[in-house]
């Protein structure tokens, strides 16, 4: 059982602004071609399948499926004239490599009556189709044009494109996609058609979009062509700056840490230090430090970096004394939950979990040593945690009746309290700490 427990620089902000306004051209050296213009190296045929089911297959079953898909793809996909061409039939085409946060460009040309799409992280899809009424798909939304996240739930942001942006059928179109976490932004022919929408997990809507997965090209109904397919993997620093820019655009955030000292913080502050613009718990020290102002409902933004096996936590509505996980509303775990020493972890102890109460989704932490970006929203008894652009916890603590080890949580119904860090002897670091009151 686990023990209970510099701000964004101008350079990062400038980088984020440049990222947001990047022209629709993919000539930067950072882009890598996904198609060499000659053959389908780096791609393979893959019939649609829940990635979890594929991973659950035995090696022999996986090999047999991929062989069958390869044989099918050879009948319907080819490289010709520096284009990938599909005849409108067969399995889809997937990258051999899996991708997480990316900027992706591709050109497509669809024939009459066609229906196509681009899968992100192995998940359907950015919709491409014949938008004309005679194609017979207006009842499905084709009249609104291509570029939307068609498999999102009805009425959800991103399902329908913001504007109609298709070129006439038979002409080339250009897609630009920015994917950071589960947040997706799409431009079609230079027009913004999806803005910062959460892409839903088609395979299981109760869980978030996978952290990584292949890019897939889908077609059925008519010949479809793709060309100029290029991708740029987005580094953690750029992704964090991008997310912070999106989250703070609404304004109202107050900085809780100036990157220089612990002025305004209370508790065992001698157990922490400021190093390179970050608050760091001293090794073999701990305790809960907190910013000296009580908050009820709020949104908090923070970047954190974990050492191997690192353990800390965000104290939410902390009363100023006692164990944040029990005497406060909750302690949101900050934990290297993939470390071997946590092999028998209770799910309610994983990173982002409301400690001992509600488990968060796992698998969205960056590699140890990288800075992670986290957004916490607290409204009444409800608490939401977004990690690196993906929501990993969305819980109502007033409904929790079962607790880890049957331990009571007397503070879970607190209406206000302090925000802080609950250290547990590891040099976990925090920076870019800001909070927006919602009261």
Q: Residue 439's pLDDT is what?
A: 83
Q: Residue 4's pLDDT is what?
A: 38
Residue 404 has pLDDT above 50, yes or no: yes
pLDDT, one tens digit per residue, over 198-221 is: 999 999 999 999 999 999 999 888
Mean pLDDT of all residues belonging to the chain = 93
pLDDT, one tens digit per residue, over 43-94 is: 999 998 888 898 899 999 999 999 999 999 999 999 999 999 999 999 999 9
pLDDT, one tens digit per residue, over 374-397 is: 999 999 999 999 999 999 999 999
Q: Residue 24's pLDDT is what?
A: 41
Which of residues 234, 258, 273 is at a domain's end? 234
Q: Residue 29's pLDDT is what?
A: 52
Residue 427 has pLDDT above 70, yes or no: yes
pLDDT, one tens digit per residue, over 233-245 is: 999 999 999 999 9
Q: How many CB atoms lie within 10 A of CB 84?
A: 24
% of residues, the chain, pLDDT over 90: 90
Q: Collapsing DSSP states into helix, strand and coil, what is residue 421?
A: strand
Same domain, 141 and 267: no
- Sign of the C-alpha dihedral computed for residues 133, 139, 140 and 144 taken in this order: positive
Domain limits at 320? 250-437
pLDDT, one tens digit per residue, over 276-296 is: 999 999 999 999 999 999 999
Same domain, 302 and 272: yes
Q: Which residue has the tokens 């250290």?
A: 423
Q: Residue 22's pLDDT is what?
A: 46
Same domain, 47 and 156: yes
Same domain, 288 and 426: yes
Q: What confidence category does residue 436 fall into, taking pLDDT thresholds of 50, 70 and 90?
A: very high
Residue 25 has pLDDT above 50, yes or no: no
Same domain, 266 and 404: yes
Number of domains in the chain: 2
Q: Residue 198's pLDDT is what?
A: 98
C-alpha span between 364 and 372 (Å, rounded):
9
Same domain, 156 and 266: no
* Contacts of 129 by beta carbon, 8 Å cutoff, 6+ apart: 110, 114, 115, 116, 135, 137, 142, 146
Strand pairing of 382-387 and 390-396? antiparallel
Same domain, 282 and 401: yes
């Amino acid at each position: 059982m686990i023990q209970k427990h510099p701000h964004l620089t101008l350079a990062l902000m400038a980088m984020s602004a440049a990222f947001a306004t990047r022209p629709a051209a993919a000539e930067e050296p950072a882009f890598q071609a996904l198609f060499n213009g000659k053959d389908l190296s780096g791609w393979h045929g893959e019939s649609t399948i829940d990635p979890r089911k594929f991973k659950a297959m035995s090696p022999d079953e996986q090999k047999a499926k991929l062989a069958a898909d390869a044989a099918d793809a050879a009948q319907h996909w080819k490289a010709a004239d520096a284009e990938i061409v599909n005849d409108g039939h067969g399995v889809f085409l997937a990258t051999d490599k899996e991708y997480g946060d990316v900027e992706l460009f591709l050109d497509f040309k669809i024939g009459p009556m066609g229906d196509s799409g681009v899968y992100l992280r192995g998940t359907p899809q950015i919709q491409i189709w014949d938008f004309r009424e005679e194609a017979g798909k207006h009842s499905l939304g084709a009249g609104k044009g291509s570029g939307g996240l068609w498999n999102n739930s009805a009425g959800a942001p991103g399902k329908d494109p913001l504007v109609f942006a298709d070129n006439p059928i038979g002409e080339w179109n250009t897609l630009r996609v920015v994917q950071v976490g589960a947040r997706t932004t799409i431009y079609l022919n230079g027009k913004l058609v999806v803005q910062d929408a959460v892409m839903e997990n088609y395979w299981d809507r109760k869980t978030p979009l996978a952290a990584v997965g292949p890019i897939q090209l889908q077609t059925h109904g008519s010949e479809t062509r793709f060309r100029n397919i290029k991708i740029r993997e987005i580094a953690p620093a750029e992704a964090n700056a991008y997310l912070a820019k999106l989250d703070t655009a609404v304004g109202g955030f107050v900085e809780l840490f100036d990157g220089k000292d612990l002025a305004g913080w209370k508790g065992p502050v001698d157990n922490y230090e400021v190093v390179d613009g970050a608050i760091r718990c001293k090794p073999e020290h701990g305790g809960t430090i907190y910013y000296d102002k009580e908050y009820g409902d709020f949104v908090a933004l923070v970047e954190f970096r974990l050492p191997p096996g690192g353990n800390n936590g965000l104290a939410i509505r902390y009363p100023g004394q006692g164990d944040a996980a029990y005497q406060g509303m909750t302690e949101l775990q900050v934990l290297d939950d993939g470390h071997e020493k946590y092999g028998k972890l209770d799910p309610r102890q994983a990173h982002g979990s409301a400690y001992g109460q509600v488990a968060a989704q796992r698998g969205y932490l960056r590699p140890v040593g990288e800075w992670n970006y986290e957004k916490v929203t607290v409204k009444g008894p409800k608490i939401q945690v977004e990690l690196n652009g993906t929501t990993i916890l969305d819980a109502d603590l007033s409904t929790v009746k079962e607790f880890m080890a049957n331990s009571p949580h007397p503070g879970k119904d607190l209406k206000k309290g302090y925000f802080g860090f609950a250290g547990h002897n590891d040099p976990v670091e925090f920076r870019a700490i800001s909070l927006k009151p919602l009261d």
